[in-house]
Amino acid sequence: MTGNISLVTGASGFIASHVVQQLLEKGEQVHATVRSIKNKKKIKNLLDMQKRWPGKLTLFEADLLAASSFDTPMKGCSVVYHIASPFFIENKIRDGQKEVVEPALKGTQHVLEAVQKNETVKIVILTSIIHYPPSISTQLVGGQLFLGVPDMWFAIVDVREVATAHIQAAQLPDSHGRYILADGKTRGFVELARILRSITQSSRIPKNTVPNALVRLSGPLLGLSQKWLKLNLSIPFDIDNRPSLEQLKIVYRPLEETLADHYRSWKSAQSLAH
């Protein structure tokens, strides 16, 4: 598909920026939308990509809640990756329907309306994927959990595989429907701690779990309901990720590699912040 133009919405976001980078690495021409081009700090990674791939990446301002906002960015595009969402997950949400669902639906409607106006668009990749900061491994590395971790289990995926899945879904003919993007088995908090301890050589990273009774007792202080804890404490589970392996040809990298790269990124960010 080299030579075609791809549109990526919400391009300054964590996942979308990786999609943009991988498209550029493939030699694609990319149109990328952001909330504000004037916010240089927010779009620095995109500006760096423009320098690295001259003439390949064009930035546009677009507002998901404004009708016709995507008409211009979408001109000439053959593929649309709609990843943007008009809300900030870190904000305290009081009414999920009004503050999250309705704006997201309205934004998607505006993007699809622009698609209908544009005859060049052949494929639309629409996802409900989000990332949720701050990272649990950041808390581990930072030493906040040195006394122990809850016996909790997580489905883990590297953001680079998430980005690849978006692109493969558009470019591989066998792709269709919905996909679970994650390693085939869940990983416990203790295993994450063990891997990070070997990477960082830090004695503040815990080795043990804390009793479930203590986790339940402190749950309200952490914003965790008893219902949520009942459904998540000490419950490992398996994941059927075969469609992503067979149809999208995703190769999930080892967890050790993901955590090592994450740690290096975290250390770099810490250095820049001081």
Q: Identify the domain containing residue 48 by its residue range.
A: 1-133
Which residues does residue 231 pair with via DSSP β-bridges, in sequence order? none
CA angle 203, 207, 209 (to 5 degrees): 140
- Can you tell me which residue has the tokens 């479930």? 212
- Can you tell me which residue has the tokens 């004037």? 38
CATH of the domain at 248: 3.40.50.720
Q: What pLDDT is attached to residue 2?
A: 44
pLDDT in tens, 45-71: 999 999 999 999 999 999 999 999 999
pLDDT in tens, 242-269: 999 999 999 999 999 999 998 898 888 7
Q: Write down the pTM of the prediction.
A: 0.89
Strand order from edge to edge, sheet including 5-8:
57-61, 29-34, 5-8, 79-82, 123-126
Over residues 96-113, mean pLDDT: 89
Q: How big is the chain, counted in residues?
A: 274
Report which of 210, 90, 202 is spatially closest to residue 137, judged by C-alpha positions.
202
Q: Is pLDDT of 137 > 70? A: no
Q: Is pLDDT of 177 > 90? A: no
Q: Do 123 and 163 belong together in one domain?
A: no
Q: Do 97 and 197 belong together in one domain?
A: no
Structural domains counted in the chain: 2
Q: Do 6 and 61 belong together in one domain?
A: yes
Q: What pLDDT is attached to residue 47?
A: 98
Percent of the chain exceeding pLDDT 90 equals 65
